[in-house]
Structure 1
Amino acid sequence: MKTQQIALAAVFISLSAIGGMVKIPLGIASIALDAMPALIAALFLAAPLAGFIAAGGHILSALFGGMPLGPFHILIAVEMFAVVWLFAKLHQNGRAWLKWGVFIVGNGVLAALPFYFLLSPAFFYASVPALVLAAVINAAVAALVAPFVVQIAGRFA
């Protein structure tokens, strides 16, 4: 791994930490912009590195929020890694539109599915609407910002 990639990953993890501080309370969950930098990082970095940024961003966001789900945040970080890894792979394969839907469904519904069994069905049904909204907001902000980031990055290449 090149030093430039490590430095870029550090910048995106820092942006995830800042996005994790932006919290909008919504019922049982809160919306944070911690995933958005990882989605943008997927445009520039390999899939595992983008996934690592998403996992690290989630852990930092959870720490800022007081770790309300305790050790379950480790499971969520692994899920975030997997969802953003898949997002990055779809991007690399030219699946421009599919990657957004996969991220929203993966992050908003599928990632919550283990909690149906681990906590309760009520927790699952109460959290999914907020998680889908959070995924949509993260994806929308990333989709709006990405063209400008790509344009600026092109000037430095």
Structure 2
Amino acid sequence: MKFRRLTFTAMIAALSAIGAMIKIPVVIGSAALDSAPAFLGAALLPAPIAGAAAAIGHMVSAELSGFPMTLPFHALIAIEMFVVVYGFAKLHQRNHHLLKWLFAVIVNGILAPLPFYFLISPQTYYAITPGIFIATVINAVIAGLCLPAITKVTGKVGDTCR
């Protein structure tokens, strides 16, 4: 089973990297389709590994943009992405289907940019949040459309790689 988990982890990380190349125009930052595959990872992987795939996806997305908000800020965002997808995966595995989407959109789209209110300026938060929110919704819609097929193919809801 370890080989299967490694294979799914590599697949999700690779899909996150590919999604990172599909940019969503925002005022400042590197919004992309990097978290949709990580949300799908919630159906295949343990929560910590799905979260790690999200963090990797964000770092690839930021690197492809030239780290527009500096490496330390993007490291913070990668940690936030880990937390968002970890929480999403836990809610998915407990069959909280509506709550997991609300969690993902609110935490990633509104709360995750909040540190930049204090670290940079309130104006930065207000400038980046609409774009990040829209990117989060797009990622969630893509994952939401694909997740039923993933669940049907794997035959389980949650970690299939135990």
TM-score in terms of structure 1 length: 0.93
How many residues are matched?
154
Deviation, structure 1 residue 97: 0.4
1:123 corresponds to: 124
Deviation, structure 1 residue 4: 1.0
Cα distance in 1 between the residues matched to 2:140 and 2:14: 18
Structure 1 contact 87–102 (Cα < 8 Å) conserved: yes
2:17 corresponds to: 17
2:105 corresponds to: 104
Pairing 1:50–2:50 present: yes
Superposed CA deviations along residues 78-106 of structure 1, whole A, max 9, x for unmatched, are 00000110001111111100000100011
Q: Which is worse superposed, 98-107 or 20-29?
A: 20-29
1:138 corresponds to: 139
Cα distance in 2 between the residues matched to 1:26 and 1:49: 28
Cα distance in 2 between the residues matched to 1:19 and 1:2: 25
Q: Which is worse superposed, 25-34 or 94-103?
A: 25-34
The one-letter code sitting in structure 1 at the alignment partner of 2:49 is L
Q: Which is worse superposed, 33-42 or 22-31?
A: 22-31
The one-letter code sitting in structure 2 at the alignment partner of 1:75 is L
- The sequence identity of aligned pairs, in percent, is 50
Cα distance in 1 between the residues matched to 2:26 and 2:36: 18
Pairing 1:39–2:31 present: no
2:59 corresponds to: 59
2:160 corresponds to: none
Structure 2: runs of 5+ lacking an equivalent: 156-162
Superposed CA deviations along residues 65-123 of structure 1, whole A, max 9, x for unmatched, are 11101121000000000011000111111110000010001101111111100000000
Structure 1 contact 30–130 (Cα < 8 Å) conserved: no
Structure 1 contact 34–57 (Cα < 8 Å) conserved: yes
Q: Going by fraction, where is strand more abundant, 1 or 2? A: 1
Cα distance in 2 between the residues matched to 1:152 and 1:132: 30
1:86 corresponds to: 87
**Please, what is the CA RMSD of the aligned residues?**
1.3
The one-letter code sitting in structure 2 at the alignment partner of 1:103 is A
